[in-house]
Structure 1
């Protein structure tokens, strides 16, 4: 994967992950709140139903109170009470029922086939012993009991809530119930509203996330295009600088070859020709002229070696960085007349491949700038190393300079190229300058053991 794609991915993936986490939290929170809301609605409706059932039973007790409190316990009085209760109803499915303490049905206005039957062991679809549960609830004084029962208007078995009381003197259980379909409908509707709310919220989050992803993607494309243009511009500048440096190096070599070796070789040619003529004439000057030509040839050989050394010091390959720097310091001190204080504490530590050449070229550039511009008297060079890095420090006591103008100094690889060399090896570079002290410091890593 290319770097630009990685950058876009690193921008989009955390956003998608954050949106997914937020969505999960929103869904969980909405579901929890929806369940709480549905439970509150159910509890509220059931509380209302309980109060309603209690009122219905109290109303029935009021209607039978004259007969029940009369003190008569004969069968005729009991039948009158049952007849009065059978007439009472509310709504389509609201009625009263009566059972004795043994579970026998005494009155059921909507299911006459149950009257007189022993229903003690009758269970609902959930396995609940309905009559026993009703009697237990009535005897405990709570009175409320949920169970499943056939709804008269539809013939379907559905959940029901009953409220029952005991007529202790007669051993009867009187009660009524309300079917809970409306409670189920209300809670189901509440849950559907929560589901719709979650769907709407998720749709909104999805739209916002899509817009955000598109914005990140568009910004990534814009940044990518801008980086491409900047990279192309830098590449063009680097290419032009490389071409310029090549031309400068070629021009320098051309001048050195023309002004140095070429003229020496021409002079040697003339001297050898002159020596040949003198020898043909059997003149005594021939051997002297020949010796002068040989001396000039030695100078030419020295010039070739000097140019070769400038291009690539052989000591770097044979004896290493410290020896090459020592030779460079000696030549610089002889050429410039400056006093150079060189300390070598490198030891046996080695640099990564290619780094010694970079360090040598950086020192060459630093010494060239000191010679041309610093007006210094002393130069201090420290080379030290350990198991982590090798550090080269170059300091002079010259007039100093403005660092941001160093790039305008001609004839060297320049500050930007020094930094590029250092960055190439993941090293560190620092440069400070004040009147009386300028210091360049370069640190390059050593290879791992």
Structure 2
């Protein structure tokens, strides 16, 4: 793992850790805020509820106070007071109730079936004697009591808080209450809103973290791609310099063989021919033996001279620099195929590629040389066709044989095979070109293409 990838990993892990810590802190704060909010809401609701209940009971007392203040205690005045209380309500679950101090229900607008029953010992869902506690609180001067009671709107037992007070002369306990499950709904709504707000905050934090990580990744990838391109350009330049160095070395070695070793062999051959010519025609047996040895020496020198000339030509053909790419390719194909007993055809199309950079000429020549070598050694072909085309947008060299083909994919996968094909591709890549290879049972076709803009770029940099 590279240093840049390690730094990116550390930075990403730091962002994720910061996000996790932020989410944890937000969650803890949400729980604390929810608890505080519930406490504040419950206290505020409780105070508002108690104040409202006091007000409602005061309103009920003010309604019947003219009757109570008459000083009458007969059943008619009490019945009239009950009737006035029955008509007082506020909403589906807001009503007044009335009991005497013995626990008998005198009025209940929502549960008339309870009227006339003694409920002193009745207990709520938690086992509390709600009516007894109410009466005791009323006798003591009034107050609040919490209990559970049937809610008319839902017909279910729900928690309730009531305020009761007493009418001492009539021995009555009057009160009203509010069901407190509404505050639970309000608190749940507030908690849901708080959770939704926290979720939105976490999503924004997560999005920010994701964008930051993406920006870091894009920056690192951008730098990596830039460096890779720079490194690729440097490698391409190095490969071109290496090819130049190899070609210069081959050219030097070719000249040395042609001008040095070849001339020495020519001189030795001439001296041998001179010595052979001076031998008398009517010489004795010893002279015949010398003549035979000199003739053999001349044959060996001639073979060596041909070999040196062939090596010199293959290293760097003189025609490539003197007559140009077309003549060099034609001579290469004719000499190689003639020596191997193959027929050869050569075709030039488009404009004659004069004035090509030396690097382009050398690359195309080496590709043709490698393609011919493969056709002669491996394809078992009987004919090779070579075409050089110079179009308006590209220069294309095609070498095609009629031998048996091979699997290009298998060659590419094998590290020990296809070295020549890889060398051809690398050479073409170095000059900005490309190599296409197709092979089947009918033959193999190698097509090397160099775009015109790549040729012009090489010409300008030369």
Could you say which TM-score interval applies, normalised by the shorter chain? 0.3 to 0.5
Task: Give the TM-score of the pair, scaled to structure 1.
Answer: 0.46
TM-score, with length taken from structure 2? 0.45
